[in-house]
Structure 1
Amino acid sequence: MTTAREIMTEDAECIGAEETVLEAAKKMTRMGVGALPICGTDDRLKGMLTDRDIVVKVLGAGKDPAQVKAGELAQGEAVTIGADDDAQEIMRTMSEHKVRRLPVIDGHRLVGIVAQADVARALPDPQVGDLLQALSTD
């Protein structure tokens, strides 16, 4: 069975918890991504920051993105997947938590990101449909 390590995007870059949301937006633009892991000064994953978070929780709320810290938007414990977990476990975790991207952890270290599209390429067609349906329903 295909593992997260085999299908993930390696070398995921974090946004520091103390960096601003404006810095995060610039980094997303430069990298061409819609989400960044939020890492603390202890090099541990604190959460994920998405472009939607920036729009809804910062801009839409009338806050200044140059003043809001990325760490302020980290909510609870981050949903992650182990580097050696298989595609079925990734699909289950994405479906259960209704997330389209999962940080991949090896021990406590961030080693990559698995996106919905990565999983879709690794699964047989009927299971891809199940994943897309699970992520698309409220």
Structure 2
Amino acid sequence: MTQHVRDVMTTDPMTVEPQASVQAVARMMRDEDIGAVLVTEGERLRGLVSDRDLVVRAMAEGGDPDRTTVAQACSEDLVTVGPDDDLILAVQVMREHSVRRVPVVDRESRPVGIVALADLAMERDPGSALGDISAARPNQ
């Protein structure tokens, strides 16, 4: 049976406007126990910011986390998949572009979810080390 991206994606992704501070986004990630947030302008997907992006692109540069915007830290050259795409396509996109998370967009290119490497690991090989780690409760 063919599986689709919608079967494993995280729905209702957290979004922020580009002007949000990296500090506010870091707190959001902590409070929601998530590793990535989509950056949107209105309904348009502009980028994706991960916890690693915050560290490497914002904090390591020494900027003020309250004044540095998420637009300065996010990845803007995105690849996306649709909810009705085969899961195999999501895997191929991740491999080809060396990414761990891919935004899921509808036909009008509005973000509707995120599919992560962890989602795929839990679905395809829940007994793997990555599947076990992804399914575990977060460290507090």
State the TM-score, normalizing by the size of structure 2. 0.82
* SS of equivalent to 1:56: helix
Structure 1 residue 124, shift from structure 2 partner:
6.9
In structure 1, what is the equivalent of residue 103 of structure 2?
103
68-77 vs 3-12, greater mean Cα deviation: 68-77
Match for 2:38: what amino acid?
A: P
Aligned residue type for 2:97: H
Change (3 A) 1:76 1:32: closer
Q: How much does 1:99 deviate?
A: 0.8
- Range with bigger deviation, 79-88 or 66-75: 66-75
Match of 1:45 in 2: 45
Structure 2 Cα separation of the partners of residues 14 and 114 of structure 1: 15
1:27-61 deviations in Å (ceiling 9; x for gaps): 00111011111111x32111110111111111111
Moved over 6 A (4+): none
Q: Give the superposition deviation at 1:74.
A: 3.1
Q: How far apart, CA to CA, are the structure 2 residues paired with 1:83 and 1:59?
A: 33
Tell me the equivalent position of 1:7: 8
1:75: Cα distance to partner? 3.7
Q: 1:21 aligned to 2:40?
A: no
Please say if residues 7 and 122 of structure 1, whose CA atoms lie closer than 8 Å, have aligned partners that are also in contact. Answer: yes
On the 8 A contact 1:2/1:122 being kept in 2, the answer is no
Aligned residues with identical type, % of pairs = 35
Partner of 1:34: 35
In structure 2, the partner of 1:80 is 80
Residues 92-120 of structure 1: per-residue CA shift (max 9 Å, x gap): 00001111111111121111111112222
What is the CA-CA distance between 1:89 and the residue it aligns to?
0.3
Q: List alignment gaps of at least 5 residues for structure 2.
A: 129-140
**Residue in 1 aligned with 2:93?**
93
Gaps of 5+ in 1: 129-138
| TM-score, normalising length: structure 1 | 0.83
Q: Give the root-mean-square deviation of aligned CA atoms.
A: 1.7
Distance 1:46 1:57, change over 3 A: same
How far apart, CA to CA, are the structure 2 residues paired with 1:124 and 1:25? 30
Count residues in correspondence: 125
Larger CA deviation: 13-22 vs 114-123: 114-123
The answer (yes or no) to whether the contact 1:79–1:102 under 8 Å persists in 2 is: yes
- Per the alignment, residue 59 of structure 1 pairs with 59
